[in-house]
Amino acid sequence: MKKMLLLLTVATLSLTAAHAQDQNANAMNRRGGHGQMGHMDRTPEQRADMQTQRLTKQLALSAEQQNQVRTIALAQANEMEAMRGQRPTDDAGRQAMGQKMREAQARYDEQLKAVFTAEQYTKYAQLREDRMEHREEKKADIKSEKQKPKATKSKTKVKAS
């Protein structure tokens, strides 16, 4: 009887651990592999608020500009959310989706340009360019990390004198 109880306890603990790991992996996938820092699980409203806060901090937006930016950011976040829901699986579909997203981003930038002063828009464009360069550098780093051969540990023993 004790062996049966012990076996049942071990099995339960094993299943619980496996289930917890599976849930963590699913959470990582939903967040685009970014763990808890990911933005994929945020609502469009949360994304619009964060975008507005970031731009307010970076560009010193007035209260009126903040309201306009939030409205524009919310519309863009909703549009992107809808596009992400229709994620294609084939290459042609992915390319078409990428083109639609670039067009949506261009419209978003034009709408912001109408809200910002010339100085603010210049700074916004520079910040956006810097972010894109940083993103490309990260992609290149990840790609080079994947291509590096795994280092093997040498098992050389050193005799103590």
The average pLDDT across 25-54 equals 72
Amino acid at 137: E
Q: Report d(CA 117, CA 61) in Å as an integer.
A: 10
pLDDT tens digits, 61-70? 999 999 999 9
More confident residue, 75 or 25: 75
pLDDT tens digits, 69-115? 999 999 999 999 998 888 888 888 889 899 999 999 999 999 999 99
Q: How far is C-alpha 139 from the geometric centre of its chain's CA atoms?
A: 13
The verdict on pTM exceeding 0.75 is no
Given a cut of 80, whether residue 48 has pLDDT beyond it is: yes
Burial class (CB in 10 A: 0-12, 13-18, 19+), 103: exposed
- Other beta carbons within 10 angstroms of residue 116's beta carbon come to 20
pLDDT tens digits, 127-144? 999 999 999 999 888 888
More confident residue, 5 or 52: 52
